[in-house]
């Protein structure tokens, strides 16, 4: 494989947004006839790199060579003409048009100035035949499954571009059978000598299809290695940036293990989102949830809090089954949930810090029983002091606060409702170091005061630090529950990396 020049080569590329570096001096080399997986957690710089290659962003520094020639794609269309096509997770085709129209949209074969439908359909059939896809090209695309739409999108991208194909999480919404169909198409294209960049959070799939892996973390290149012979554990530690270490553990009072569970999940699941899970959470206990992005960890929390409805299993609170049909129901049971995406799911940006703090409590009381201005100010001041929320004024709109302070306001919003069960999804993501430590201290503190907590975090060291138990999710399944001495980043990574092909019992 050491022959000739690489198909696509990225050298020393950097990109910053408003002075914040998203990509720093990254190299990336794609050979013809290779499936090259690009891996990294959220914010690692994968999508920035892809967008630079496909012309959606312009690089600040460095060069991109296609077959040895430097290229400067102005936009995505320009990159397509140069030979670089992209297929995204959400198929961005027009499902109301026919398969053939989608394949030839914007470049329909013309006859006397009009679209030559017969010619278009004939050529479409010929293209799809090469993929072994004998579907009716005159039927609307919407008639077919997402997997077939995905293949049509690939066929279109390959037909237009033909050198480099970027697959951005193409399998996220497919089932195992459909994934296999997609992969057979990818293998064909590899055999034809195309270079394929494959982005996925599913490690099993990466091992199944990729020849080479490049890992990015925090905008930097970690390494590029061949898949053959790469240990999963090594890969996971490259992605998460942690050496194997025995973490520091919080001493856990063994008596909590004997008390009755506050919240019990029995076979709770939703098809295509989370496989059925059994879990007990007791008062005075922090249950940590570990797993890569897309492992189903957020989705599980959403089932518990009634944001999404489960289609199997039950939730019991203090022994009594509860139909968790809406967040209101969950809140009425004394649940609280700090979401991962603060901006869209958490803060009410234009409202003041005071209003954001009293918000959940007011919603719970209903509109007829308003908190008086005095009560609101007292509550706000109490939490601003208790959580050390840095704001010049309690009447300042929350959108002007830093991420860490917004997170503290959200915590205050829920603590004001005096919950007995608190779910935190990535409570320390994107916040400054000071606030970080304070939030961890708060988690431990709340737990010691008898609250039950479920904490989802990618910061494994942190999770090991405060969790009484840790459950590990992978590919929408709970694959392990770590207790006692097994609570360590080491064991978490081993669990995430363990072979567990979809067929095997988890």
How near is the Cβ of 110 to other proteins at its closest, in Å?
A: 36
Instruction: Tell me which of 4, 142, 348, 378 binds other proteins, using CB under 8 A.
Output: 348
Check binding of 307 to other proteins (CB under 8 A).
yes
User: Is the distance from CB of 416 to CB of 360 less than 8 angstroms?
Assistant: yes
The two structure tokens encoding residue 472: 């590990």
Identify whether the C-beta of residue 86 lies closer than 8 Å to the C-beta of residue 50: yes
Interface with other proteins, residue 108, by CB under 8 A:
no
Q: Which stretch binds other proteins (CB under 8 A): 10-18, 366-374, 422-430, 444-452?
A: 366-374
Q: Does residue 337 interact with other proteins by CB under 8 A? A: yes
- Pick the binder of other proteins from 3, 243, 255, 344 (CB under 8 A): 344
Q: What is the closest distance, in whole angstroms, from the C-beta atom of residue 466 to other proteins in the complex?
A: 24
Contact partners, residue 370, CB within 8 Å, separation at least 6: 362
Per CB under 8 A, the segment of 112-120, 230-238, 356-364, 496-504 that binds other proteins is 356-364
Q: Is 367 in the site for other proteins (CB under 8 A)?
A: yes
The whole-angstrom separation of Cα 434 and Cα 438 is: 7
Sign of the C-alpha dihedral computed for residues 102, 108, 113 and 116 taken in this order: negative
73, 339, 419, 500: which one binds other proteins (CB under 8 A): 339
Q: Which of 430, 119, 448, 74 is nearest to 253 (CA)?
A: 448
29 pairs with which residues across the strands?
9
Cβ of residue 363: shortest distance to other proteins, in angstroms?
4
Segment contacting other proteins (CB under 8 A): 75-83, 126-134, 227-235, 369-377?
Answer: 369-377
Q: Residue 369 contacts by C-beta under 8 Å, 6 or more apart in sequence? A: none
Q: Which stretch binds other proteins (CB under 8 A): 139-147, 320-328, 430-438, 479-487?
A: 320-328
Min dist. Cβ of residue 123 to other proteins (A): 39
Give the pairing of strands 34-39 and 212-217.
parallel
Is residue 323 at the binding interface for other proteins, with CB under 8 A as the rule?
A: no
With the C-alpha atoms ordered 487, 488, 491, 493, is the resulting torsion angle positive or negative? positive
User: What are the structure tokens assigned to 258, written together?
Assistant: 């004997």
Q: Looking at 33-41, 349-357, 459-467, 471-479, which segment touches other proteins (CB under 8 A)?
A: 349-357
Q: Does 449 bind other proteins (CB under 8 A)?
A: no
Closest CB 306 distance from other proteins, rounded Å = 10
Q: Which of residues 406-425 bind other proteins (CB under 8 A)?
A: 413
* Pairing label, strands 34-39, 61-66: unpaired
- The count of chain residues that interact with other proteins, using the rule CB under 8 A, is 30
Q: Determine, following the binding rule CB under 8 A, whether residue 309 of this chain makes contact with other proteins.
A: no
- 3-state SS class at 346: helix
Contact letters (x/-) for other proteins, 226-265, by CB under 8 A? ----------------------------------------
In terms of residues, how long is the chain? 506
**Residue of 363, 442, 444, 479 that binds other proteins (CB under 8 A):** 363
Query: In the complex with other proteins, which residue's Cβ is closer, 54 or 302?
Result: 302
DSSP code string of 26-90: EEEEE-TTEEEEEE--TTSSHHHHHHHHTTSS--SEEEEEETTEE----SHHHHHHHTEEEE-SS
CA dist 506 and 277 (Å) reads 11
Centroid of chain to Cα 271: 18
Contacts with other proteins, residue ranges (CB under 8 A): 305, 307, 326-328, 331, 337, 339, 344-351, 355, 359-360, 362-371, 413
């Amino acid at each position: 494989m050491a022959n000739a020049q690489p198909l696509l080569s990225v050298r020393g590329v950097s990109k910053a947004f408003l002075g914040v570096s998203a990509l720093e001096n990254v190299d990336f080399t794609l050979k013809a006839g290779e499936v090259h997986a690009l891996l990294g957690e959220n914010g690692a710089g994968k999508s920035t790199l892809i967008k630079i290659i496909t012309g959606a962003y312009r690089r600040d520094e460095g060069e991109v060579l296609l077959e040895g020639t430097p290229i400067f794609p102005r936009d995505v269309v320009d990159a397509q003409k140069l030979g670089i096509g992209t297929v995204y997770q959400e198929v961005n085709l027009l499902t109301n048009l026919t398969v053939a129209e989608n394949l030839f949209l914007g470049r329909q074969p013309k006859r006397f100035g009009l679209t030559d439908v017969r010619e278009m359909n004939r050529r479409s059939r010929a293209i799809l035949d090469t993929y072994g896809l004998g579907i009716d090209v005159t039927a609307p695309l919407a008639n077919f499954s997402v997997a077939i739409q995905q293949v049509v999108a690939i066929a279109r991208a390959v037909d237009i571009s033909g050198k480099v194909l970027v697959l951005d999480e193409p399998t996220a919404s497919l089932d195992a059978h459909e994934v296999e169909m997609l992969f057979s198409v990818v293998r064909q294209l590899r055999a034809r000598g195309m270079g394929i960049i494959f982005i996925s959070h599913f490690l099993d799939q990466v091992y199944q299809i990729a020849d080479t892996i490049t890992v990015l973390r925090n905008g930097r290149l970690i390494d590029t290695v061949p898949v053959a012979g790469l240990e999963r554990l090594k890969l996971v530690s490259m992605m998460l940036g942690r050496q194997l270490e025995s973490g520091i553990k919080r001493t856990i009072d063994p008596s909590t293990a004997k008390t009755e569970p506050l919240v019990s999940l029995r076979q709770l699941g939703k098809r295509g989102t989370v496989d059925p899970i059994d879990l007990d959470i007791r008062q005075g206990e922090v249950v940590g949830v570990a797993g890569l992005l897309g492992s189903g960890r957020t989705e599980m929390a959403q089932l518990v809090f009634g944001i999404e409805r489960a289609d199997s299993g039950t939730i019991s609170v203090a022994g009594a089954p509860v139909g968790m049909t809406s967040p209101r129901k969950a809140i009425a049971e004394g649940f609280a949930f700090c979401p991962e995406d603060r901006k869209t799911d958490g803060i009410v940006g234009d409202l003041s810090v005071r209003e954001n703090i009293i918000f959940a409590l007011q919603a719970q009381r209903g509109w007829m029983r308003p908190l008086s201005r005095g009560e609101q100010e007292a509550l706000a001041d109490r939490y601003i002091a208790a959580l050390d929320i840095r704001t010049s004024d309690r009447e300042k709109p929350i959108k002007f606060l830093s991420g860490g302070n917004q997170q503290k306001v959200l915590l205050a919003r829920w603590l004001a409702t005096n919950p007995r069960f608190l779910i935190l999804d990535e409570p320390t993501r994107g916040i400054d170091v000071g606030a970080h430590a304070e939030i961890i201290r708060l988690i431990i503190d709340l737990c010691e005061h008898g609250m039950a907590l479920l904490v989802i975090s990618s910061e494994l060291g942190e999770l090991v630090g405060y969790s009484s138990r840790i459950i590990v999710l992978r590919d929408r399944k709970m694959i392990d529950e770590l207790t006692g001495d097994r609570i360590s980043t080491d064991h978490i990574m081993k669990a995430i990396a363990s072979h567990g092909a979809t067929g095997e019992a988890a």
